[in-house]
């Protein structure tokens, strides 16, 4: 089910880059932003129409700040939670670096136009939609750790080749599609690993904790890769910002102990 939720998230990634590229070619630079505002407002109206205010005795109970801090400290003392947290940090560092700077790489190094670059980035999500569900199902049957390690290691090698080799447009699409298929499930697989480590009552807390690790990983990624571009060039910087963190992510998860 987490894979299904991740797939819905990626559906937006299919339409967004491609549509934005077309709008930038056909209209002025601000049109995609105006369209995004309209779609967001429509989504807000839909959300508000579905919202139901239900006041229960349980909802009136507020967690004390000290108890909340103690609860998270206890979670971080868990070996498995700590390894998942660090894996999520590095995996999301790589994902945000990829999403932020790959369009610039495609425009500057591969000489694509913005529509072609948008379609190329969208192909990541096209194949990620299916793989999130597929590997979510397979991990339920055969265990998650082996999939996290294998997908992370293979995607690290694949994306390193992508930034290092000179590729035609069809091969660019192929590489990004394969990369999306391999790495897109990282979100649902890692969250599930974290949830399986704790009691059911703590599932929400540990989910928030590992997602916090993901957000922290996303903060320095665009900045660090941008600085690296000034020092070593865009291709080497992308290997540093995407491939190496993915390799580290797959190695870290080896410390996770499955029951």
Question: Could you state, in order of their start, the residue ranges of all structural domains in the chain?
Answer: 2-22+79-255
How large is the average pLDDT for residues 11-39?
81
Residue 257: per-residue pLDDT: 87
Region of poorest pLDDT, from 17-31, 74-88, 155-169: 17-31
How large is the average pLDDT for residues 198-218?
85
Confidence class of residue 14 from pLDDT cuts 50, 70 and 90?
Answer: confident
pLDDT at 13 over 80: no
How large is the average pLDDT for residues 172-190?
93
CB within 8 Å of 97: residues ≥ 6 apart? 221, 222, 224, 225, 238, 241, 242, 245
**Total count of residues recorded for the chain:** 259
Of 36, 84, 43, nearest to 187 (Cα)?
84
How large is the average pLDDT for residues 36-57?
75
The tokens of 167 are what?
Answer: 């590729």
State pLDDT tens for residues 184-204.
999 889 988 888 888 776 777
pLDDT at 67 over 80: no
| Domain 2-22+79-255 fold | Growth Hormone; Chain: A; (1.20.1250)
Confidence class of residue 149 from pLDDT cuts 50, 70 and 90?
Answer: very high
How large is the average pLDDT for residues 66-71?
58
Question: Using H for helix, E for strand and C for coil, what is the string for 113-133?
Answer: CHHHHHHHHHHHHHHHHHHHH
How large is the average pLDDT for residues 175-184?
94
């Amino acid at each position: 089910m987490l894979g299904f939720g991740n797939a819905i998230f990626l559906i937006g990634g299919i339409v967004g880059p491609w549509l934005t590229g077309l709008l930038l070619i056909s209209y002025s630079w601000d049109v995609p932003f105006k369209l995004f505002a309209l779609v967001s407002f429509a989504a807000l109206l839909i959300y508000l129409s579905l919202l139901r205010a239900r006041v229960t005795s349980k909802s009136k109970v507020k967690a004390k700040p000290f108890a909340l801090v103690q609860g998270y400290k206890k979670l971080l003392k868990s070996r498995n939670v700590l390894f998942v947290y660090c894996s999520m940090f590095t995996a999301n560092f790589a994902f945000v670096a990829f999403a932020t700077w790959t369009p610039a790489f495609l425009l500057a190094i591969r000489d694509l136009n913005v529509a072609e670059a948008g379609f190329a980035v969208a192909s990541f999500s096209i194949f990620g939609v299916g793989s999130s569900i597929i590997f979510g199902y397979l991990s339920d049957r055969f265990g998650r750790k082996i999939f996290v390690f294998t997908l992370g290691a293979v995607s690290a090698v694949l994306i390193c080749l992508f930034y290092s080799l000179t590729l035609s447009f069809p091969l660019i699409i192929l590489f990004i599609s394969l990369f999306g298929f391999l790495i897109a499930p990282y979100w649902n697989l890692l969250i599930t690993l974290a949830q399986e480590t704790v009691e059911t009552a703590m599932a929400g807390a540990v989910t928030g904790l590992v997602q916090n690790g993901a957000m922290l990983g996303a903060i320095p990624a665009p900045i660090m890769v941008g600085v690296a571009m000034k020092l070593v060039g865009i291709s080497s910087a992308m290997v540093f910002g995407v491939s190496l963190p993915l390799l580290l992510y797959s190695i870290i998860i080896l410390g996770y102990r499955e029951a």
